[in-house]
């Protein structure tokens, strides 16, 4: 123990802990066997009062930033008083070594037992050096790159004193109206599970006790992504089959990757607010999956049980949430007020409190905080690591990999590097703030490289910029509603005049960085404000348009998709955004991203997702109206899941299927040849989908069950082999059993969910 100890009780504790530690000296902290850590925790719990144990279950927001409504009763004085009493287990929204050190000092030097604090922060896509928003990163389908990106985020966060990130968000969602799709991996469970694993690994590394690895948090458990009508904080009603097969697997993947914490969520699930769901938190997570970490509530979600009409007051809310398995109360003031009394009155069993406190203390042990509570507090490290050149290189690399080429008619892209007169149009083209996306509390405003700056690096073209229309009005912020200009179109004329005299027009249109993220649901996902008008006006005078989208969710851009020859999905790509986009536009980087989420034609199609079920009337075989369709719009999406082009071309052939393994454990090998038949070297995400044709529970028309990102030089051919085992072939039935049913399966392989090759096998 390197820190000063003040109290005799603590000395006794430390003495006990030291004896236990001495007997395991040969172990580093990270590999101290669980039973030793458990004994240390037993010793500690034995001397803790009930109030101190409940204190571990109390998570307070810091003193500067808020990421939710400020609750009644929150005050700085109270927080300091509780810190000194040892009634706080963790804090959020504190960053910077100086601040962390001071608060940690109060906890370890002024409280009776000196138990160190956890410091949590929403490190969603980087701390200060920002990588693309998670949805964009997911478009890379590059698991190693995604892991590296989380690693960089952990390196910066830990250097700023943070030891716990509220990421990854692993919510599957099929509704782009929901603003938080920007934070997840999109609509697909298989891809989402792989990405969950990569992100947990990136944050936590192989050794949690290192001072540059941090505890991760899989959130929001569960089904938050299915919020009714895409409206934030809303009701969720889904069947158990969807829950088990679609929603939960990414959480299971995170738990299997040893994620240390899980956050519950604001929604209900089939009538029960999930913060009070014993089924989710105990039956599934803790008992079913043997999750040994702790569950943190979402911001005040325990208190919100009252507003849901599920608890009559704070006392009942505390009881319901603790019994259900929510271990820590985030900025809700419910546990700290009620829980000790509930135990003293015999309403809540003390064993539940012991279990929760044990889980929290365990994570602190694993992080090495009992050995050195200031291990994340190194000023030198902070200076050196945050915003370093190598971090910037890493996020640039990730940004390029995240870009998706949606359309490229007549090879308008890549642009010539010299001799072209280019008009650059759109407010977002010069915006240095918006590409940072949402969840970027620790980064400075206006620090992204804009598209204008990125393109100016290519000096041999003439680039003239005009914004066209103002889109976003006033000062934008993480906590306030965005104002959009829907009336003033006075700048359109200048844009049109410029376009008339240009060879190519690059238009950067889309959403503001604060238009997606938490509490940013939209009923329309068209281009906001007058951007569509601007696009159409420019198109009237110059058809050579490259549309660069900057957005945090799929948008409805049907007109653009029909008329504009080249469309690049440039998301919100973080600090190096403009360089990444420019390098793709000029062909220095050949795009290989694939959509992790379907683009609908209009909002009426939502939810639209590739792995839907069939219906009893799936097609128009009799040429009348009696089939499952809309009378005013086709069933197909605008851009399908997995879609993304390259500057080169790939041909798929020789699909072959081979079966082996035992009859009880069949293995199916699927092979395919891919050739780069185009003019550039390039990368391709080879995707494998299956369909279980007849089953006791209806199965999706297609499901991703394998993918591989490959690199092919011009003219090169590679053979890729996938293996399908029970894991891929089976599913959860209504009783919650995972079953594999014999019968016929279709196999599809190609470069998107609409594949070129198809075959079949019988299990």
- Annotated catalytic residues are 298
* Smallest gap from residue 266 Cβ to ligand NOJ (A): 6
Contacts of 254 (CB under 8 A, 6+ apart): 168, 170, 196, 197, 200, 216, 218, 262
* Smallest gap from residue 65 Cβ to ligand NOJ (A): 9
Distance CA 470, CA 475 (A): 13
* Smallest gap from residue 67 Cβ to ligand NOJ (A): 3
* Smallest gap from residue 439 Cβ to ligand NOJ (A): 9
Cα–Cα distance list, 550 to 132, 433, 477, 499 (Å): 11, 12, 18, 20
Distance CA 269, CA 259 (A): 23
Instruction: Give 26-92 as a 3 state SS string.
Output: CCCHHHCCHHHHHHHHHHHHHHCCHHHHHHHCEEEECCCCCCCCCCCCCCHHHHHHHHHHCCCCEEE
Distance CA 120, CA 93 (A): 7
**Is the torsion defined by CA of 298, 300, 302, 304 positive or negative?**
negative
Under a CB-based contact definition with an 8 Å cutoff, are residues 465 and 424 in contact?
yes
In the bound state with ligand NOJ, the residue whose beta carbon lies nearer, of 166 and 586, is 166
In the bound state with ligand NOJ, the residue whose beta carbon lies nearer, of 17 and 262, is 262
Any idea what the Cα angle at residue 191 is, between residues 247 and 737, rounded to 5°? Answer: 40
Binding site for ligand NOJ (CB under 6 A): 67-68, 92, 122, 166, 219, 298-299, 518
Task: Count CA within 13 A, CB hemisphere, residue 175.
Answer: 22
Q: Hey, which residues does 688 pair with through a beta bridge?
A: 706, 749
* Smallest gap from residue 127 Cβ to ligand NOJ (A): 14
Under a CB-based contact definition with an 8 Å cutoff, are residues 292 and 195 in contact?
no
For 204, phi and psi rounded to 5 degrees? -90, -20
Distance CA 75, CA 79 (A): 6
* Smallest gap from residue 259 Cβ to ligand NOJ (A): 14
In the bound state with ligand NOJ, the residue whose beta carbon lies nearer, of 359 and 520, is 520
Q: Hey, which residues does 522 pair with through a beta bridge?
A: none
Cα–Cα distance list, 508 to 415, 428, 471, 752 (Å): 15, 6, 12, 25
Of 330, 329, 331, the closest CA to residue 340 belongs to 329
- CB nearest ligand NOJ: which residue? 67
Of 194, 10, 119, 2, the closest CA to residue 363 belongs to 119
In the bound state with ligand NOJ, the residue whose beta carbon lies nearer, of 275 and 611, is 275
Of 694, 634, 673, 639, the closest CA to residue 756 belongs to 673
In the bound state with ligand NOJ, the residue whose beta carbon lies nearer, of 521 and 583, is 521
* Smallest gap from residue 441 Cβ to ligand NOJ (A): 9
* Smallest gap from residue 119 Cβ to ligand NOJ (A): 13
In the bound state with ligand NOJ, the residue whose beta carbon lies nearer, of 154 and 749, is 154
Pairing of strands 703-712, 682-692: antiparallel
In the bound state with ligand NOJ, the residue whose beta carbon lies nearer, of 167 and 537, is 167
In the bound state with ligand NOJ, the residue whose beta carbon lies nearer, of 299 and 589, is 299
Under a CB-based contact definition with an 8 Å cutoff, are residues 200 and 258 in contact?
yes
Distance CA 639, CA 139 (A): 13
In the bound state with ligand NOJ, the residue whose beta carbon lies nearer, of 31 and 479, is 479
- What's the chain's length in residues? 763
Of 688, 651, 125, 687, the closest CA to residue 402 belongs to 125
* Smallest gap from residue 169 Cβ to ligand NOJ (A): 7
């Amino acid at each position: 123990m390197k820190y000063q100890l003040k109290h005799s009780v603590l000395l006794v504790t430390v003495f006990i802990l030291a004896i236990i530690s001495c007997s395991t000296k040969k172990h580093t902290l990270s590999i101290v066997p669980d039973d030793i850590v458990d004994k240390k925790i037993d010793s500690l719990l034995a001397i803790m009062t009930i109030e101190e144990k409940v204190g571990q279950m109390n998570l307070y927001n810091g003193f500067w930033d808020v990421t939710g409504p400020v609750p009644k009763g929150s005050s700085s004085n109270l927080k300091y008083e509780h810190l000194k009493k040892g009634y706080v287990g963790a804090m959020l929204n504190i960053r910077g070594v100086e601040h962390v050190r001071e608060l940690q000092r109060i906890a370890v030097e002024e409280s009776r037992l000196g138990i160190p604090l956890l410091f949590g922060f929403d490190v969603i896509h980087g701390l200060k050096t920002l990588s693309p928003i998670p949805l964009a990163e997911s478009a890379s389908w590059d698991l190693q790159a995604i892991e590296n990106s989380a690693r960089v985020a952990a390196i910066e966060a830990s250097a700023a004193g943070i030891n716990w990130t509220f990421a990854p968000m692993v919510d599957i969602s099929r509704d782009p109206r929901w603003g938080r799709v920007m934070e997840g991996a999109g609509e697909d469970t298989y891809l989402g599970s792989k990405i969950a694993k990569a992100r947990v690994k990136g944050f936590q590394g192989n050794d949690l006790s290192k001072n540059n690895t941090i505890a991760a948090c899989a959130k929001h458990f569960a089904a938050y992504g299915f919020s009714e009508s895409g409206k934030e904080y809303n009701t969720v009603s889904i069947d158990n089959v969807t829950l088990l097969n679609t929603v939960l697997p990414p959480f299971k993947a995170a738990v299997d990757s040893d994620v240390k914490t899980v956050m519950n969520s604001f929604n209900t699930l089939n009538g029960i607010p999930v913060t009070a769901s014993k089924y989710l938190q105990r039956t599934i997570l803790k008992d079913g999956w043997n999750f040994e970490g702790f569950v943190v509530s979402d911001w005040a979600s325990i208190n919100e049980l009252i507003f849901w009409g599920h608890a009559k007051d704070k006392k009942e809310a505390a009881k319901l949430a603790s019994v259900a398995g929510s271990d820590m109360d985030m900025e809700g003031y419910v546990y700290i007020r009620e829980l000790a009394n509930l135990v003293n009155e015999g309403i809540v069993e003390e064993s539940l409190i012991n279990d929760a406190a044990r889980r929290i203390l365990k994570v602190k042990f694993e992080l090495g905080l009992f050995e050195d509570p200031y291990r994340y507090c190194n000023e030198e490290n902070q200076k050196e690591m945050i915003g370093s050149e190598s971090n910037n290189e890493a996020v640039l690399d990730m940004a390029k990999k995240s870009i998706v080429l949606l359309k490229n008619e007549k090879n308008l892209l890549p642009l010539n590097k010299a001799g072209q007169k280019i008009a650059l149009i759109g407010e977002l083209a010069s915006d240095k703030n918006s590409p940072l996306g949402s969840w970027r509390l620790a980064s400075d405003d206006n620090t992204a490289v804009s598209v204008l700056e990125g393109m100016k690096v290519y000096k041999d073209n003439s680039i003239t910029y005009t914004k066209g229309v103002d889109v976003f009005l006033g000062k934008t912020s993480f906590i306030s509603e965005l104002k959009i200009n829907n009336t003033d179109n006075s700048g359109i004329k200048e844009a049109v005049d410029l376009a008339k005299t240009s060879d190519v027009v690059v238009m950067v249109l889309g959403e503001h960085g604060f238009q997606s993220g938490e509490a940013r649901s939209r009923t329309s996902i068209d281009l906001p404000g007058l951007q569509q008008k601007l696009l159409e006006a420019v198109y009237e005078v110059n058809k050579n348009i490259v549309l660069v989208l900057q957005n945090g969710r799929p948008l409805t851009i049907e007109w653009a998709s029909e008329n504009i020859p080249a469309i690049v999905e440039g998301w919100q790509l973080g600090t190096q955004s403009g360089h990444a986009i420019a390098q793709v536009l000029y062909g220095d980087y050949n795009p290989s991203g694939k959509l992790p989420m379907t683009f609908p034609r209009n909002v009426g199609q939502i939810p639209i997702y590739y792995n839907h079920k069939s219906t009893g009337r799936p097609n128009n075989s009799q040429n009348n109206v009696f089939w499952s369709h809309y009378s005013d719009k086709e069933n197909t999406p605008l851009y399908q899941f997995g879609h993304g082009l390259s500057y080169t071309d790939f041909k798929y052939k020789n699909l072959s299927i081979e079966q082996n393994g035992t009859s009880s454990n069949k293995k199916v090998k699927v092979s395919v040849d891919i050739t780069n038949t185009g003019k550039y070297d390039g990368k391709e995400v080879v995707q494998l989908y299956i369909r279980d044709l007849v089953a006791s529970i209806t199965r999706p028309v297609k499901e991703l069950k394998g993918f591989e990102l490959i690199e092919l030089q011009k003219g090169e051919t590679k053979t890729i082999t996938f293996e399908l085992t029970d894991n891929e072939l089976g599913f959860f039935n209504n009783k919650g059993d995972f079953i594999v049913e014999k019968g016929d399966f279709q196999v599809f392989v190609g470069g998107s969910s609409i594949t070129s090759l198809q075959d079949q096998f019988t299990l």
